[in-house]
Structure 1
Amino acid sequence: MNILILGNSEDVHAVHLKNALTQAGATVYYLDTHLFPTQLKMSWQPDTQLGCLNLPEGVKLDFQDIHSVFWRSLSSIDLPSYLEPEQQRIALNDSMSALRTLIQACPARWVNSWQAYQFHKEKPLQLSRVKQLGIAIPATLISNDSEQVLKFAQSQPMLVFKPVYGGTHTQLLKESHLEPERLQLVLGLSPVTIQEYIPGTNIRSYVINGSVYSVEIRSPALDFRQDLQAELRPVELPDRVQQQCLAITKALMLEWTAIDWRLSPQGEYVFLEANPSPMFLHVESKTGFPITQELVQLLTK
């Protein structure tokens, strides 16, 4: 059984899962897109649906011989530095178009799929889809219009802000951030996500194989990812919220995910985000959740 891990040996989660899958009897390779197109070779015929990979270590795999792929991380491609700017642009466009096509053309089971990854990249759409399920989300504005930002800021007693795409930590919105010159400068560079601050407790729910494993993350930090000393405590969510976890996973086309909630003082679970490739080793070691075992079962079945 051939299984690929989208990522490389520099990622401890990728290495951990490769070792676990190998112990389970699978043949596992890294699919490192940073090596495309210089070392990693891909081919596909749309008329026959036949494709293959030639990995840098000299292994050739036909698409139909790949059982599953675990999406850990998609790296940027690596182009030769000697290319002229116009050559660089053409090579980048062609390489990325081929890479996106071939990721979607490979019929293996993806955990998670390209479509699920797109939802994660477009976080405002993710929030909208979850809201359509009848699940609470924070009041949120995505905008690069200073007038709309100021109007929204006046509607909430306390706000946070973060990038639309993600990738960095949440911060409290202060009066100094709303100074006209600063606001115009920042919003002229890119839009921003501004959200109602939800007081309460951080809850993270790992959803996989129809199971929900939840942990309360006790931390004084605004963004618990900044707190290496955060206390982790396994919790059992109400049945209604567990069903919401499963509904979110299905609606966002996820095979597995970690859902971040804020549990308000009034007992309301407010959805913040669903991550299609969450880190799990620290939580697993502290709680005993069988996440590695569940992933191995998912990728080998």
Structure 2
Amino acid sequence: MSPPHVLVLTRDHDPHADHLRQLLARRGARTTVFDNRDYLVRAHVELAYTAHGLARRLLHTESGTLDLDSLTALWWRRPQPPEAHPEITDPSVAAYTALESVNLIGDLWEHLPCRVVPARESVFRRAGHKASQLMLAAELGFEIPETLIATQPDALWDFHNRHDGQIVTKPMGMPWVENLAAGHTVIRKCELVSPRDVGYADALRFSPVIVQQYVPKRLELRVTVVGRQVFAAEIHSQTSNRARVDWRWYDLGVTPHHVHRLPDEIADRCLAMTERLGLAYGALDLVLTPDGRYVFLEINPNGQWLWIEELTGLPISEALCDLLLEGA
């Protein structure tokens, strides 16, 4: 019997993938790492059909040929999109071939007959839509912050006044903006709205933004769901001026992390959230308020976990290995 074989889709220099590959190897599993960006440059796909259906599905790389139908599992970690071949110099042709490659590769991973973690791309992309997440969370019984998504300055001013200025903004999707001309990247996370920001409210008409009531925090929680297992870590973000509004600014030296015991009903809602979204994995962000309420903020269908594991000892990586090898 052949050993289990997991295909990991990710970019170079991914510590999460490297760590899990070592754990899978200890269990006797084989792993292959592939980045979609290598397609046409260092790798090729071969799909063949007879008059009656699929005949073969092969991935040719510099290290050999992989029969994609032999895979035990596919882990969609963090691959980059395919690019045009570097020998193409015409920008319009390059854009066209890159789009054609995206269409093929996206369709290829969508239909493999194996377990896919966190989910097939079409599923977890849809699961990442924050407006839909808020509706589902409320439907499942989570408390959510009062929220406004609009492009009208008057709506922002009204929301700001109703909450005495205690509001935050966050991006709809991408948390960064690349300024190619200046050669740097601007990071955009959850931020308090200042009086100066309100003065520029007219710019809201150019792009949608999420505006929410600021939720007071005793703790922030990162709840990682792997299959049917729930791992909750408490992040004492209020001990750091840098991380108190958004722990993702990371001030780990002064921000304690501990295992958190979720109430059963909150853990059940986290499981229901991933199940309803079609995810085998998900990282939920919650707030525990000073008066003991659990408030849902969002779920990341492909969120990081390694730092949580290192600081708390929660066996998230082992649970992921179990999930990827289940039934193998």
Q: Which AA in structure 1 matches 2:247?
A: F
Runs of 4 or more off by more than 4 Å in structure 1?
none
The answer to whether residue 276 in structure 2 is matched with residue 251 in structure 1 is: yes
The answer to whether residue 29 in structure 2 is matched with residue 11 in structure 1 is: no
Instruction: Show the counterpart of 1:164.
Output: 172
Alpha-carbon distance, 1:136 to partner: 1.5
Alpha-carbon distance, 1:228 to partner: 2.4
Alpha-carbon distance, 1:105 to partner: 1.6
Alpha-carbon distance, 1:55 to partner: 4.0
What CA distance in whole angstroms lies between the structure 2 residues aligned with 1:213 and 1:164?
26
Q: Which AA in structure 1 matches 2:39?
A: F
Instruction: Show the counterpart of 2:197.
Output: 177
The answer to whether residue 112 in structure 2 is matched with residue 87 in structure 1 is: no
| Percent identity of equivalent pairs | 28
What CA distance in whole angstroms lies between the structure 2 residues aligned with 1:107 and 1:25?
21
> Secondary structure at the residue paired with 2:53?
coil
Q: Give deviations 1:158-183, integer Å, cap 9, x for gaps.
A: 1111111042421101111121xx33
Instruction: Show the counterpart of 1:233.
Output: 258
Distance 1:42 1:128, change over 3 A: farther
Q: Give deviations 1:26-77, integer Å, cap 9, x for gaps.
A: 1101121111232222244576245523242332222320110112103122
Distance 1:166 1:156, change over 3 A: farther
Q: Give deviations 1:62-96, integer Å, cap 9, x for gaps.
A: 23201101121031222234432321231122111
Q: RMSD across aligned C-alpha pairs, in angstroms? A: 1.9
Whether contact under 8 Å (1:52, 1:60) holds in the other structure is no
Q: Which AA in structure 2 matches 1:228?
A: L
Instruction: Show the counterpart of 2:41.
Output: 38
> Secondary structure at the residue paired with 1:164?
coil
Distance 1:50 1:110, change over 3 A: farther
Whether contact under 8 Å (2:257, 2:312) holds in the other structure is yes
Distance 1:128 1:43, change over 3 A: farther
Normalising by structure 2, report the TM-score: 0.85
Instruction: Show the counterpart of 1:275.
Output: 300
Instruction: Report the number of matched residues.
Output: 298
Instruction: Show the counterpart of 2:28.
Output: 25
Instruction: Show the counterpart of 1:222.
Output: 245
Q: 1:125 aligns with which of 111, 132, 135?
A: 132
Whether contact under 8 Å (2:9, 2:79) holds in the other structure is yes
The answer to whether residue 219 in structure 2 is matched with residue 197 in structure 1 is: no
What CA distance in whole angstroms lies between the structure 2 residues aligned with 1:210 and 1:259?
14
Q: Give deviations 1:200-249, integer Å, cap 9, x for gaps.
A: 12011111232211111002321112122221011111111111111111
The answer to whether residue 262 in structure 2 is matched with residue 262 in structure 1 is: no
Instruction: Show the counterpart of 2:104.
Output: 98
Whether contact under 8 Å (1:144, 1:192) holds in the other structure is yes
Instruction: Show the counterpart of 1:142.
Output: 149
> Secondary structure at the residue paired with 1:216?
strand
Whether contact under 8 Å (2:145, 2:212) holds in the other structure is yes
> Secondary structure at the residue paired with 1:72?
strand
Distance 1:57 1:134, change over 3 A: same
Whether contact under 8 Å (1:284, 1:291) holds in the other structure is yes
The answer to whether residue 136 in structure 2 is matched with residue 111 in structure 1 is: no
Alpha-carbon distance, 1:7 to partner: 0.5
Whether contact under 8 Å (1:40, 1:53) holds in the other structure is no
Alpha-carbon distance, 1:17 to partner: 0.8
Normalising by structure 1, report the TM-score: 0.92
> Secondary structure at the residue paired with 1:53?
strand
> Secondary structure at the residue paired with 1:154?
helix
Distance 1:270 1:145, change over 3 A: same
> Secondary structure at the residue paired with 1:13?
helix
Structure 1 stretch 20-29 or stretch 43-52: which is displaced more? 43-52
Instruction: Show the counterpart of 2:160.
Output: 153
